[in-house]
Amino acid sequence: MRPFVMAAILAILPGIGLGSLSLEAQKPKRVIQPVAAQAPQQPKAPLVRSKGYKPLTPAQRRTYHDENTRRHGHPIKRMAENTVNPPAFDCSSRGWICPTWDQGQCGDCYLDATVRQMTCAFIKNGYGKNDGSFALSVQFGLDCQNFGGCDGGNGTEVIAWAKKNGWIAETYIDSTGKTINDYPPYSASPRSCRAQPGAKKWIIADWGFIDTDGAFDIEYMKTAMTNFGGLNIAIDAGGQFGNGTSTITRLGDSIDHEIMATAYDDNHDNGDGTKGAVLLWNQWGQDWGTGGFRWCSYSACRHIVDWFWVSVTPLPPPTPPTPPVPPTPPATTYVLFEGAKQVGSLTGYPTLPAAETDAHGIATKDNVPVSILAAGSVVEVVQPGTPPPLPPSPTGSGTFTLTLTGPLTVTSADGTMSVVLPTQTISGVMNVTSGPGISPKK
């Protein structure tokens, strides 16, 4: 090979990707650029989203509570009394939570939170998967019922209506594996109702506040979540709630937003020296908090209201009240006399002391005769005051207390045996089979 041919070949080698065979003179020079100083990371700007919660009046809340109590009593209280809740619980890790939602610029948070809660309740009970293939329709609530639309409302009104009437799904997979789309997707604005005849109605079994007034109670919250899944809550969406990823430790009381709570952890470090928090799940998309979730300390949760649960399976009815115990007849004290001398008293049911007029003694306590005899005379049983006479020949049984003022000689009816009794009190059960009645001593 001639020299000029070799030079030509070497000249074209870099162009066909064999740069390692190129001449040193052909390598480009490396230029090192200075690294620009990075600006400090700015906190997230608050998300601009609509809210839409409208509070219940005290009368409305009481009405819902009374209706729930008639149906199922206070199940959370009953469960909490017999349950030791785990220190941490997460509905997401159990597959009970559907994809994060974005309500957009429509003030229907009350619908979003409640419909998502129902969706998750059905997923929890095996009616669908948490991958978005099963979802009840929020748009159905905007279009087909006057709950408040994008101008706000309250989730308790939605859930109460859904329990009675059922709810239409946006999408679900039927028993044959076919995807069914029963309602158009969410558009963040009300339209005319497009429900089709024959669309399946998904009906929840029940719902209720975790406490009598929807207030926060840590143990009731845990019991409700571990048994029923995510809880619906109402919150002040100002201040710390607006955006960020750190734990919320302060909340206001201007309640204006409805979301869900899906986990709790007694050992979560809140960053302010306290531990214990609830995981909130908002519907402002993935950009709020961490993927739509954010922790809130137990202390701040005390400013959250309207905590309620949803159940797809029926609850047992309330335990019937215990029948009232019949009132015990008032005990009457009778005074015992030997002639004109008071020798003791007898306290018991009014019909029993009549037996004391039987000179032979009807009942005994530890072989001590209840009927008292002295010097061959009958010790009279006298009722204080002037009540009506006792009925003759009473029958029955009851307790008695006999107090004797000793020393008192008790002699058998035939006079063959006598016993000196000290002052004492005798209690027992007297069985009366027969005996004459008595009249008050005049």
DSSP state of 218: H
Residue 386 resides in a domain: yes
Residues 227 and 345 in one domain: no
User: Are both 338 and 408 inside the same structural domain?
Assistant: yes
* pLDDT score of 283 more than 80: yes
Give the per-residue pLDDT at 340. Answer: 52
Asked if residue 363 is part of any domain, the answer here is yes
Final residue of a domain: which of 311, 343, 361?
311
Quick one: how many helices (H) and strands (E) in the chain?
A: 8, 22
Which tokens is 347 given? 């306290």
Residue with tokens 């064999």: 18
Average pLDDT over residues 293-297: 97
Structural domain harbouring 387: 332-432
User: How long is the chain?
Assistant: 442
Residue 432 pLDDT class (50, 70, 90 cuts)? very low
- At 192, is the secondary structure helix, strand, or coil? coil
Specify whether 23 is located in the same domain as 62.
no
Q: Based on the domain organization, do 170 and 297 belong to the same domain? A: yes
Whether residues 169 and 257 share a domain: the answer is yes
Q: What is the pLDDT of residue 114?
A: 97
Q: Over the stretch 338-384, which tens digit does the pLDDT of each residue have?
A: 545 555 555 543 333 333 333 333 333 333 334 433 323 333 444 44
Give the separation between CA 387 and CA 247, rounded to whole angstroms. Answer: 75
Alpha-carbon distance 188 to 178, whole Å?
27
Which amino acid belongs to residue 230? G
My answer on whether 206 and 114 are in the same domain is yes
- Average pLDDT of the chain, as a whole number: 75
Encoded tokens for 402: 């006999």
Q: What is the 3-state secondary structure (H, E, C) of 246-274?
A: CCECCCCCCCCEEEEEEEEEEEEECCCCC
Residue 305 neighbours by CB under 8 Å, 6+ apart = 55, 214, 215, 216, 233, 234, 235, 255
What does the angle CA 424 – CA 430 – CA 434 come to, to the nearest 5 degrees?
A: 130
Angle of helix 58-72 relative to helix 155-165, nearest 10 degrees, comes to 40
| pLDDT exceeds cutoff 50 at 433 | no
pLDDT band at 281 (very low <50, low <70, confident <90, very high): very high
What DSSP designation does 240 have?
Answer: G
Identify the pLDDT of residue 403: 61
Q: Got the DSSP string for 89-129?
A: EETGGGT------B-TT-B-HHHHHHHHHHHHHHHHTTSS-
In angstroms, the first-to-last Cα distance of the chain is 158
d(CA 242, CA 49): 10
Contact 362, 397 (CB under 8 A): no
CA distances from 412 to 257, 286, 289, 417, 437 (A): 88, 97, 94, 6, 22
Is residue 94 within 8 A of residue 178, CB to CB? The reply is no
Residue keyed to tokens 């009506």? 388
Residue 342, SS3?
A: strand
User: In this structure, is residue 215 part of a structural domain?
Assistant: yes
In this structure, the number of other CB atoms found within 10 A of the CB of residue 180 comes to 13
Mean pLDDT of all residues in 98-108: 94
CB-CB neighbours of 419 under 10 Å:
12
| Phi, psi for residue 425 in degrees, rounded to 5 | -120, 130
pLDDT for the residue numbered 365: 34
pLDDT band at 21 (very low <50, low <70, confident <90, very high): very low
* Same domain membership, residue 71 and residue 10: no
In a domain, 365, yes or no: yes
The pLDDT assigned to 74 comes to 82
One domain for residues 294 and 428: no
* Percent above pLDDT 90 for the chain: 50
Kindly state whether residue 39 falls inside one of the protein's structural domains.
no
Please indicate, yes or no, whether residues 295 and 403 belong to a single structural domain of this protein. no
199 vs 139: CA distance, rounded Å: 15
Do the domain assignments include residue 38? Answer: no
Q: Given pLDDT bands bounded at 50, 70 and 90, which one contains residue 215?
A: confident
Assign residue 273 a region (left: φ > 0; alpha: ψ between -120 and 50; beta: otherwise): left
Task: Tell me: pLDDT of 107 over 60.
Answer: yes
Kindly list the distances between the CA atom of residue 129 and the CA atoms of 125, 173, 228, 280, in Å, as whole numbers in the listed order: 10, 9, 17, 21
Of 8-22, 159-173, 186-200, minimum mean pLDDT range: 8-22
Roughly what angle, to the nearest 10 degrees, separates helices 155-165 and 109-124?
A: 50
Q: Is the pLDDT of residue 431 over 50?
A: no
How is residue 290 written in tokens?
């961490």
d(CA 393, CA 414): 24
Q: Is the peptide bond before 28 cis (omega within 30 degrees of 0)?
A: no
| 87 or 402, greater pLDDT | 87
pLDDT at residue number 47: 53
Query: What is the chain's Cα-based Rg?
Result: 42
Partner residues linked to 36 by β-bridges: none
- Closest by CA to 160, choosing from 32, 38, 64, 290, is 64
Residue 438, pLDDT above cutoff 50: no
Please give the average per-residue pLDDT across 169-174, as a whole number.
97
Alpha helices in 243-376 (DSSP H): 298-301
Kindly state whether residue 316 falls inside one of the protein's structural domains: no
Task: Provide the number of structural domains found in the chain.
Answer: 3
Q: Is residue 439 part of a domain?
A: no
pLDDT recorded at residue 373: 30
- Clarify whether residues 372 and 296 are in a common domain: no
Q: Residues 263, 297: one domain?
A: yes
Pair 130, 219 in one domain: yes
pTM: 0.64
Q: Which residues contact 131 (CB under 8 A, 6 or more apart)?
A: 99
Check residue 33 and give its pLDDT. Answer: 40
